[in-house]
Structure 1
């Protein structure tokens, strides 16, 4: 079974909803399984509904999709804090050659979603991963009036963080999951 790790941080639940859509996209590919994980949080009342990430989760995955809310045009400190502990994954080459992608949510339409996506790509490139985005053959990229870019899915939550994920944003999440899973499945060596 090809395992795609969907690792995210979500303070208000919007990025978690996207993670679940991406997981559905992953699992739409025969022979692929989504593994949902989150990170430790510095927020006292943070309630993790998915298991906390471990280094072995990273080593065992065949692909990684990383998600975070957009905080000042950058990934959340809690996600960055975890990444900063993974130097031995970088040093050992454990992540090299695995497909990867990114996703984000943010409360203002032009509040740094694309720079957040780019900031999450940097450690993936340092790991030696194969960073993938979304092609314009995904028609939702052409018609979205809210979130989404060729760098990865994004969701515009509005200021109160209550705007639901719309049809285009949903389709882009599903598409990224499917795209990453398909690539990982093709790259995984066959047993026997």
Structure 2
């Protein structure tokens, strides 16, 4: 079985809906097991057993929500030190409104999430413009659910946005299945010393 972990946090339910769409998309790929967890509940063991991780967040002042950052700093950073995420597949998504008619910092937030995955040596799955729903939820890096209008009025997540999320989940699962149990990336660099590792224990 290919194992996909979805990690997210949600304040008004919109990010949760996108996470559920990604979960359903990943589950549509035969032989895929999906675990969907709030960032505060996801553990290092969840990450260790996963072949792929999709991380999602509301946008907060052009960056990820603090609860998702805590997961990165307290879980992913330790696994980065021990190289336990190298070769896993990663994808991201965001949700947010914002004032004006732009992504309200969603691109910066997604790049920050992807940066954490890239530092961990993961293989990144982005969102090609051929993806159904891209015209309303496409960000190149991953789907973005625009949950607020140009005057910051709540509008929620549309079915087209959910469609882009569904396909993103399926794309990540297919890539993870194709790469599962394949040791493709070079190794040989020295891990941090036991003293350094102990500082993060």
Within the candidate set 60, 66, 82, 1:77 is matched to: 66
Within the candidate set 78, 89, 95, 1:105 is matched to: 95
Could you list the structure 1 runs, at least 4 aligned residues long, displaced by more than 4 angstroms after superposition. none
Instruction: Confirm whether residue 149 of structure 1 aligns to residue 139 of structure 2.
Output: yes
Unaligned ranges ≥5, structure 2 = 183-201
Comparing 25-34 with 147-156, greater Cα deviation is found at 147-156
Instruction: Name the structure 1 match of 2:84.
Output: 94
- What aligned pairs does 1:9-158 form with structure 2 within 5 A after superposition? 9-40=9-40, 52-86=41-75, 87-108=77-98, 109-110=101-102, 111-141=104-134, 143-144=135-136, 147-158=137-148
- What aligned pairs does 1:154-173 form with structure 2 within 5 A after superposition? 154-158=144-148, 159-161=152-154, 163-173=155-165
What RMSD, in angstroms, separates the aligned Cα atoms of the two structures? 1.5
Unaligned ranges ≥5, structure 1 = 41-51
TM-score by length of 1: 0.86
Distance 1:34 1:11 in 2: 22
Return the offset for 1:93: 1.2
2:67 aligns to what SS in structure 1?
helix
Return the offset for 1:140: 2.8
Distance 2:145 2:71 in 1: 23
The structure with the largest alpha-carbon Rg is: 2
Equivalent residue pairs, number: 175
TM-score by length of 2: 0.82
Return the offset for 1:136: 1.9
Distance 1:9 1:25 in 2: 19
Cα shift readout 1:94-138 (whole Å, capped 9, x = no counterpart): 111111010000022521111111111111011100111111222
Instruction: Name the structure 1 match of 2:6.
Output: 6
Kept in 1, the 8 Å contact 2:132–2:167? The answer is no
